[in-house]
Amino acid sequence: MKPARFDYIRAGDIAEAHAALADHGNDARIIAGGQTLMPMLSMRLVRPKIVVDIMHVAALHGIAASGADIRIGAGVRQAELLAWPGLAEHLPLLHAALPWVGHAQTRSRGTVCGSAAHADPSAEIPLCLLALDATLELSSRRGRRRVTAADFFTGMMTTARADNELIEAVRIPKKPAGAGYAFNEFGRRHGDFAIVACAAVASGDTTRLAVGGVADTPALHELGALGGKELDDALDAFAWALDARDDLHATARYRRELVRRMGRATIEEARACRD
Amino acid sequence: MPRLSAAERHTVRFTLNGRAVEAQAEPRMLLTDFLRHELGATGTHVGCEHGVCGACTVEIDGVPARSCLTLAVQADGATIRTVEGLAPEPGRLSVLQEAFRRHHALQCGFCTAGILMSLDSYLRSQPDPSEQDLREFLGGHICRCTGYVPIMAAAMDAAKRLRESPSDV
């Protein structure tokens, strides 16, 4: 359980990180907090030739309001976001979900963007980014582009990021007036990866439910103002459409049942806290 | 832009328990192995080596973190505390360590160093935690022989004693 050999580059600015990615492509891996890359390195699930540390790049740090969005830089650790004074007001879903991300002892180092880059199907942060219609800011030597969370998560631990691209930041829309949010998760222990996690956003007559842990990527479903049996039926159809997987933690059937029940509870919770 | 080549060993310097230290590490060396094998600080234990068990928890720049999920070269310039830094003076245990002894909160001791580092840090930021908060925080550690009941009792007792006489460590 020791990583294979790699060169280590400590990038001093974004241009240096771009240069390393341009020169080495898929042989290079970005390390920020390291809480997902380090286990992958130690288990030799990835064997990059170069590891590029971006935590010394000042421009990647900071949480800032930017128009209707909150922009979270690639260097922002999960604990830093959790302690950010504006979190409950502007990003109530993340305020509810972040305590479920790993443990305090890993949130202290792990970054928000790092979790998005890793794209574990059970992870809470990708799920919230999808539910909130967040946008990833990607950049390379060749230019910049923005990708919505819905387009970014393309498969299990697979994203739309090209080999030469750096995630510079994620932009998350601020809570609009009147919206309600809720997050729930079921796992064997608090801090473990979710067997199923649900995030709901309710605003006026719209309700969206995002579900993680069930399929290869988090999935989003619009449920409008449905209630009663109609809502149950819609959730049942959603659960069946998810292509749930069996693994040693739970069967596909069990996951579908969690989508039906926890999904409904999460939606009701989000609707009840609309202000 | 410093580039440290894979096959060579590079000087890593940081502050360990208040003392400046330095030694050599390949880029791939984990902070756990650097502490134990290069610096001889064997109080930090190595369990799962992928961030799950918590045995290797140390304090990096004031917050508890997994030393197995950190490269030694990433720790260059950092301030690190390990279990060796808890006792206020030779021959005297910290309030938290003493509470562990009093409550029999360790049996084999393998997970203890990591738990002590987590709790030491936590009790400084949260001097009056609820039992539920502490349980959740302890969820970042796995103990396979003592059981969590005496660990919880020791942590609650230490928190109480530290509140009553905050000048103690």
Report residue A265's pLDDT band, with 50, 70 and 90 as the boundaries.
very high
What would be the CATH architecture of the domain defined by B10-85?
Roll (3.10)
Q: If DSSP codes are grouped into helix, strand and coil, which group holds residue A107?
A: helix
B141 CB neighbours in chain A (<8 A) are: 105
> How far is the alpha carbon of A178 from chain B, nearest alpha carbon, in Å?
31
Yes or no, beta carbons of A190 and B27 under 8 Å apart: no
Domain with CATH 3.10.20.30 in chain B: 10-85
| Residue A219, pLDDT score | 97
Tens-digit pLDDT profile for residues A76-129: 999 999 999 999 999 999 999 999 999 999 999 999 999 999 999 999 999 999
Domain with CATH 1.10.150.120 in chain B: 95-164
The superfamily CATH assigns to domain B95-164 is [2Fe-2S]-binding domain (1.10.150.120)
Domains located in chain A, CATH noted: 7-53 (3.30.43.10), 58-173 (3.30.465.10), 181-272 (3.30.390.50)
| Residue A244, pLDDT score | 93
> How far is the alpha carbon of A107 from chain B, nearest alpha carbon, in Å?
8
Yes or no, beta carbons of A38 and B71 under 8 Å apart: yes
Residue A136 predicted with pLDDT over 70? yes
> How far is the alpha carbon of B162 from chain A, nearest alpha carbon, in Å?
22
A49 CB neighbours in chain B (<8 A) are: 6
| CB distance A198 to A179 below 8 Å | no
pTM of the full structure: 0.96
> In this predicted complex, what is the ipTM?
0.95
Mean of pLDDT over chain A: 96
Tens-digit pLDDT profile for residues A174-231: 999 999 999 999 998 777 889 999 999 999 999 999 999 999 999 999 999 999 999 9
Yes or no, beta carbons of A7 and B73 under 8 Å apart: no
| CB distance A255 to A195 below 8 Å | yes
B66 CB neighbours in chain A (<8 A) are: 35, 105-106, 109
- The segments of chain B whose pLDDT lies below 50 read none
Yes or no, beta carbons of A9 and B2 under 8 Å apart: yes
| Residue A66, pLDDT score | 87
| Residue A127, pLDDT score | 98
Yes or no, beta carbons of B28 and A103 under 8 Å apart: no
Q: What number of residues does chain A have?
A: 275
For A104, name the nearest residue in chain B, comparing CA atoms only: B137
| Residue B165, pLDDT score | 87
A19 CB neighbours in chain B (<8 A) are: 1
Tens-digit pLDDT profile for residues B2-47: 899 999 999 999 999 999 999 999 999 999 999 999 999 999 999 9
Tens-digit pLDDT profile for residues A41-61: 999 999 999 999 999 999 999
B30 CB neighbours in chain A (<8 A) are: 2-3, 38, 42
> How far is the alpha carbon of A49 from chain B, nearest alpha carbon, in Å?
8
How much is the average pLDDT of A1-29?
Answer: 96
| CB distance B84 to B96 below 8 Å | no
- SS3 readout for chain A: CCCCCCEEEECCCHHHHHHHHHHHHHHEEEECCCCCHHHHHHCCCCCCCEEEECCCCHHHCCEEEECCEEEEECCCEHHHHHCCCCHHHHCHHHHHHHHHCCCHHHHCCCEHHHHHHHCCCCCHHHHHHHHCCCEEEEEECCEEEEEEHHHHEEECCEECCCCCCEEEEEEEECCCCCCEEEEEEECCCCCCCCCEEEEEEEECCEEEEEEECCCCCCEEEECCCCCHHHHHHHHHHHHHHCCCCCCCCCCHHHHHHHHHHHHHHHHHHHHHCCC
| Residue B1, pLDDT score | 66
Query: And the tokens for A173?
Result: 């829309």
Interface of B with A in 77-116 (CB under 8 A): none
| Residue B78, pLDDT score | 98
> How far is the alpha carbon of A122 from chain B, nearest alpha carbon, in Å?
16
